[in-house]
Amino acid sequence: MAESQKKILIVEDSADSRDLVVLCLKRAGYDISIAGDGHEALEKAAAVHPDLILMDISMPGMDGLEATVRLKSDPLTRDIPVVVTTAHAYKTMIDRATQVGATEVLVKPLDFLALGEKLGRLIRAQENTLSAAKPPQSNSREL
C-alpha cells in the first residue's frame, strides 16, 4: 500500500484524542509521529518532514494557529499541508485557520472512518502539485 510510507505528524495535547487518531491512522497504514503542543510540532516537523500535519487548535503554550503560522513562514516546512482540527466550529475560527495557512479544517468529533481516506486524498493532491512544479527531466546526455 502506497500510504504505508507516508508520514503524518499528529499534534494533539489530549492523550485520549491523540491515541484514537494514532490508532485510526496506523490501521490505515501511515507512519505516525506525535507532538503534544505547538512548540514540539515545530521541532518534529523540521526533523521528520511529514507528508501532512494534523494540528489541533486548542493547546496550552503555543496553540495550533500560531504553530501553523510559524510552519508556513519557514521555508523548510511551508509546503507541508496542515489540516487543523477543532471542536470550536465557529465560522470565525474556521476562517482564521484558513487565513493562517491550513489546507483544511476538520471539526471534532472526527469521523474516523473517513479520516484516513481524506488525508490520503490530501497527500496525493500535494504530491501531484509538487510533481507538476518540478522541471521536466532531460534524457539527453551532454558530452
pLDDT tens digit at each of 143 positions of the chain: 444 489 999 999 999 999 999 998 998 889 999 999 999 999 999 999 999 999 999 999 999 999 999 999 999 999 999 999 998 888 998 999 999 999 999 999 998 877 877 888 888 888 887 777 766 555 544 44
Q: Which residues pair with 31 in a beta bridge?
A: 7
Rounded Cα distance between 118 and 94, Å, is 18
Q: What's the pLDDT at 4? A: 46
Q: How far apart are CA 70 and CA 49, in angstroms?
A: 14
Superfamily of domain 2-126: Response regulator (3.40.50.2300)
Position 27 scores a pLDDT of 87
pTM, to two decimals: 0.85
Domain ranges of the chain: 2-126
Is the CB of residue 79 less than 8 Å from the CB of residue 103?
no
Q: What is the pLDDT of residues 96-120, one digit of tens each?
A: 999 999 999 999 999 887 787 788 8
User: Quick one: DSSP state of residue 4?
Assistant: G
| Residue the block writes with cell 501511515 | 30
Q: What is the predicted pLDDT for the residue at 136?
A: 57
